[in-house]
Amino acid sequence: MTLPPPSHPRYESLMTRARIEEGVKAGLVATQGLIAHGRGEAFDYLLGEATIPPAAEASRAAAALLLLARNPVLSVNGNTAVLVPDELAALQKALACKVEVNLFHRTEERVRKLVAHLEAHGCTNVLGVGAQPTIPGLDHDRGRSTLEGIYSADVVLVPLEDGDRCQALRDMGKTVIVVDLNPLSRTAKSASVSITDNVRRAVPAITRALQGMEKDEAKRIAAAFDGARNLRDTLDFIAARLKALA
């Protein structure tokens, strides 16, 4: 693969694509992950490839909910694992929480590879190998989880999630935080908190928001957050931005 020079105006975007491509070749990312990435890129253009104010607010709410959780778990798929492995390790450290590999296109071999990849980047005791069908209402491999991880979690961060699984986790009574560049997706609509941002920006933003956050402050932030209003603010922001550009 020919890598772009750092002076290229689309350097960051092209290097991110290269990570996904390398991830497919290494057996970490599903081939469908290429399609998902392209869709994400298109929505990122609408945001101006930057964190918009409603996304910053949602990331703060996510940090607050994760801080207040009894058993917070970071659920990681192939795309997320190759895009932000070091950043996930930093977030796990900040929360002292569990990380679990959970895949849509599941094979045990890919789960094992992703566990090894995340641990090589500093995540510890990554769960996911041998997960059992435990999530009610999902007659598919993505209904698998580990008892000590996602199954017993009260708050789950699931970047690039699919709508069905997000709803199934909500139906289990969990608080579900997603990162999805598409604010119109079923996932975004069914999540407790949907962060409309690139996972490359959102995961470090959550870790930064946690720094120095006290539990009393977290309770105030969580109580004040309204997910439906945040999604409306996101669409308003995008509409105003496009109008200004037209």
Strand, helix or coil at 130? coil
Task: Tell the smallest beta-carbon distance from residue 217 to ligand PTJ (Å).
Answer: 27
Is the Cβ of residue 33 or residue 72 nearer to ligand PTJ in the bound state?
33
Is the Cβ of residue 32 or residue 124 nearer to ligand PTJ in the bound state?
32
Nearest CA-CA partner of 195 in 87, 15, 44, 59:
59
Residues contributing to the site for ligand PTJ (CB under 6 A): 30, 32-33, 36-37, 39-40, 43, 77-79, 83, 103-105, 160, 162, 179-182, 185, 198-199
The radius of gyration computed from the CA coordinates of the chain, to the nearest angstrom, equals 17
- Residue 186 and residue 231 in contact, taking contact as beta carbons nearer than 8 Å: no
Task: Tell the smallest beta-carbon distance from residue 173 to ligand PTJ (Å).
Answer: 23
Strand, helix or coil at 42? helix
Nearest CA-CA partner of 193 in 67, 66, 53:
66
140 class by beta-carbon count within 10 Å (0-12 exposed, 13-18 middle, 19+ buried): middle
**CA torsion through residues 45, 50, 52, 57, sign:** positive
Q: Cα–Cα distance between 128 and 146 in angstroms, integer?
A: 6
Is the Cβ of residue 141 or residue 154 nearer to ligand PTJ in the bound state?
141
Nearest CA-CA partner of 49 in 83, 19, 13:
13
Task: Tell the smallest beta-carbon distance from residue 3 to ligand PTJ (Å).
Answer: 19
Residue number closest to ligand PTJ, CB atom: 40
Task: Tell the smallest beta-carbon distance from residue 158 to ligand PTJ (Å).
Answer: 10
Q: Note the residue count of the chain.
A: 246
Is the Cβ of residue 176 or residue 218 nearer to ligand PTJ in the bound state?
176
Is the Cβ of residue 79 or residue 213 nearer to ligand PTJ in the bound state?
79
Task: Tell the smallest beta-carbon distance from residue 29 to ligand PTJ (Å).
Answer: 6
Task: Tell the smallest beta-carbon distance from residue 202 to ligand PTJ (Å).
Answer: 7
- Residue 130 and residue 155 in contact, taking contact as beta carbons nearer than 8 Å: no
Is the Cβ of residue 142 or residue 174 nearer to ligand PTJ in the bound state?
142
